[in-house]
């Protein structure tokens, strides 16, 4: 499968699950909720790279209270459509989280392994509070006990792409969220 080929790339988009408008409305709603909840509090948004960077970009602009941003990178997929089961933190935070109310901004909670490890790491650093906001929640795949405090969309067990989510680094640039056509993997 050669995703750099335009025809193959386009065949990878099985169906659009959430349009640009769906996402925009949900992000604005989440931004209002966070703004009300954290008014007057030192707020740090932590994006889990790479998948959540587009979501974080739109979400932080929907928040109308002061906030700071930091990044972590953790991987469990390693160019496949299924989690490997192991989590590697490849980039850590630069902020002292003990001075902030921290919101982890995640693209998708699937098995929960990656995010569970990130939550443990951040909790050990004693933030003022810690919450999770996820763009997508896939509870049918959960293998650890973990729930988001705020989820924009709940999805079935399908592999999704777009709006920052990828397959082997492709599809992040789609402005919507789509189901990936896994039949391409057999070609």
How many independent structural domains does the chain possess?
1
Distance between CA atoms of residues 177 and 2, nearest Å = 21
- Residue-level pLDDT at 2: 82
Distance between CA atoms of residues 99 and 27, nearest Å = 26
Distance between CA atoms of residues 49 and 90, nearest Å = 10
Residue 57 belongs to a domain: yes
Residue 4 belongs to a domain: no
Residue 26 belongs to a domain: no
- The whole-model pTM stands at 0.90
Domain that holds residue 169: 45-77+86-174
Residue 108 contacts residue 83 (beta carbons within 8 Å): no
pLDDT level of residue 105 (50, 70, 90 thresholds)? very high
Residue 122 belongs to a domain: yes
β-sheet with 43-49: strand ranges across: 88-91, 68-75, 43-49, 101-109, 129-137, 150-154
Distance between CA atoms of residues 25 and 56, nearest Å = 15
Helix (H, G, I), strand (E, B) or coil at 134: strand
Strand partners, 73: 49, 91
Distance between CA atoms of residues 76 and 84, nearest Å = 5
Residue 1 belongs to a domain: no
Residue 158 belongs to a domain: yes
- Residue-level pLDDT at 89: 80
pLDDT level of residue 101 (50, 70, 90 thresholds)? very high
The pLDDT tens digits of the residues spanning 42-93 come to: 999 999 888 999 999 999 999 999 999 999 987 765 455 555 566 778 899 9
- Residue-level pLDDT at 100: 98
Q: Domain with 156 in it: what CATH number?
A: 3.40.50.2020
Active-site residue identified among 7, 92, 96, 110? 110
Q: Mean pLDDT across the stretch 119-137?
A: 97
Q: Is residue 176's pLDDT more than 60?
A: yes
- Residue-level pLDDT at 86: 66
> Is 58 considered catalytic here?
no
Q: Is 8 exposed, middle or buried (0-12, 13-18, 19+ CB in 10 A)?
A: middle
pLDDT level of residue 185 (50, 70, 90 thresholds)? confident
Distance between CA atoms of residues 64 and 51, nearest Å = 23
Residue 118 belongs to a domain: yes
Residue 161 contacts residue 178 (beta carbons within 8 Å): yes
Residue 23 belongs to a domain: no
């Amino acid at each position: 499968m050669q995703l750099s080929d335009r025809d193959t790339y386009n065949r990878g988009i099985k169906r659009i699950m959430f349009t640009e408008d769906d996402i925009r409305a949900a992000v604005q709603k989440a931004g209002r909720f966070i703004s009300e909840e954290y008014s007057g509090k030192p707020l740090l948004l932590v994006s889990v790279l790479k998948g959540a960077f587009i979501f974080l970009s739109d979400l932080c602009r929907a928040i109308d209270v002061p906030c700071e941003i930091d990044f972590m990178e953790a991987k469990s997929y390693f160019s496949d459509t299924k989690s490997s089961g192991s989590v590697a933190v490849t980039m850590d935070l630069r902020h002292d989280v003990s001075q902030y109310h921290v919101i982890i901004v995640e693209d998708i909670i699937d098995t929960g392994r990656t995010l569970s490890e990130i939550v443990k790491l951040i909790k050990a650093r004693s933030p003022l509070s810690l919450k999770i906001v996820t763009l997508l929640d896939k509870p049918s795949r959960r293998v650890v006990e973990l729930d988001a405090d705020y989820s924009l969309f709940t999805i079935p067990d399908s592999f999704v792409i777009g709006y920052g989510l990828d397959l082997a680094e492709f599809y992040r640039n789609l402005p919507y969220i789509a189901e990936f056509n896994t039949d391409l993997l057999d070609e």
